[in-house]
Structures are given as C-alpha cells and as structure tokens.
Amino acid sequence: MIPRTIGDIDEMVVEVRRQGREVAEIVDAHSAGHLRWRPEPNKWSLLGHVAHLSLVNGAYLGVLEATIHDAKRQGASEAIGPYRHPWIARWFARSMEPPPRRRLPTLKSMVPDPELQTGDVVNVFEGHQKTLALLIGDARGLDLGRIRFRSPLFRPLLLSLGTGFAVLLAHNRRHVWLMREVIAWDGFPGGPSTGG
C-alpha cells in the first residue's frame, strides 16, 4: 500500500509486524534442513528468501533513516496528506506485489549465501523489521510524497519516502509468497519441525 494520508502510517506499522510474524511462523514450522531445501539449483530455499529480504531491507534502512533525519533537521512542515508520489515510484512499488508477474534478475550483492545459519538470518530479518517499524513511526507528520531519496540499489530511481516504505512492504510480501511457493513445490520435504 502506498500511503495516501497520515493514517496510513499506523496501517504500515501493523503490516510490518504482521509480516514479521508470518515469516517467523514459516521458519518455526520447519527444520533447519527443510529451510535450506532448494526446489532447483537456480531457486532459493526458504532461508534464502529470508536472507535476501535482510540484504534488501538493510540496504534501504540506512538511507531511509538519513532521509527522515535530514527532513526533520531542515524543518519539514507537518503534512497529513493526501501525498503525491512520483508515478514511476508508484509503478515500482506495485510491481513488487505478489504474485510475481515478472521475475527480475537479482543484483549479485543481494543474492543470499546458501550456507547461512538459520538463527543468524532470522535475527537479522527480525531486527530490520523492528527498525522499519520505528522509521515509519518516526516519519509521522512528514510529507511522505514530497520528501525524496535515491534507491540505494538503483541510483537513477527517485522514490518518495512513502513509496520507499511501500516498496519494502510489497517486496516482503512478494518473498513470503515465494516462500509459500517453495513449500508447495512437489518434493518439498516439509512437515512440522522436529527440531534441528
């Protein structure tokens, strides 16, 4: 969802927390071996999707924090919406929503290491979700359409603060959908976790 008014801030924070719970439920329901299972050599495991989210979200969080800090330091005026977001940013946010209509190539720096440890990956993702919720809350009162920043992963793309939040939330939803696709894959070892 791309924020239209200040009330959307609360909805985004709720969505961040919901996503964190959903990923935790998927991870907790499977053993370490199941979390590393890959449908095909060129496809990611459940853990790979969580690690990828951590890489992407981590790249954005510092930029979002600096953008909010700079806006407040410069005395950005109070705004309650409706916000006007760049059309290309709105398109980009919508393109991230599941189910994926187009599979885009992933930047090398955003490809997860298949040897990562479950606890490390999940802890980083959970930490990023908490930070994202705090940053969204910190943006309350700022003009989420007027304040802009450059995507840390594709510098030509100029995003409004609001579409930046929307991109991360949509991208999270996309990869949770892809995780469920892995679980539904024929041959997935699945089943409730028995530890490990």
CA-based torsion, 155, 62, 140, 74: positive or negative: negative
Residue 148 forms beta bridges with which residues? 160
- pLDDT for 127 equals 97
Is residue 154 scored above 60 in pLDDT? yes
Query: Does residue 193 register a pLDDT over 50?
Result: no
Closest CA to 19 of 189, 177, 186, 193: 177
Which one is predicted more confidently, 1 or 65? Answer: 65
Which is nearest to 142 in space by CA: 192, 86, 73? 73
Cα–Cα distance, 39 to 185 (Å, whole number): 7
Cβ proximity of 92 and 21 under 8 Å: no
Q: Say what percent of the chain tops pLDDT 70.
A: 87
Q: Which domains does the chain have, with CATH numbers?
A: 8-184 (1.20.120.450)
Q: What is the mean pLDDT of residues 117-122?
A: 85
Average pLDDT of the segment spanning 117-123: 86
Q: pLDDT tens across 11-21, in order?
A: 999 999 999 99
What average pLDDT does the chain have? Answer: 87
Asked if residues 55 and 110 have their Cβ atoms less than 8 Å apart, the reply is yes
Q: Is 81 left (phi over 0), alpha (psi -120 to 50) or beta?
A: left
| % of the chain residues with pLDDT over 90 | 60
| Cα distance from N-terminal residue to C-terminal residue, the chain | 37
C-alpha count within 13 angstroms, C-beta hemisphere, residue 159: 25
Q: Output the pTM of the full model.
A: 0.88
Per-residue pLDDT tens digits for 29-56: 999 999 999 999 889 999 999 999 999 9
Helix (H) or strand (E) holding 160: strand 158-160
What is the SS3 string spanning 32-92?
A: HHHHHCCCCCCCCCHHHHHHHHHHHHHHHHHHHHHHHHHHHHCCCCCCCCCCCCCHHHHHH
State residue 104's pLDDT score. 66
Running DSSP on this structure, what letter comes out for residue 8?
H
pLDDT in tens, 58-113: 999 999 999 999 999 887 766 666 778 888 878 888 888 898 877 666 767 667 77
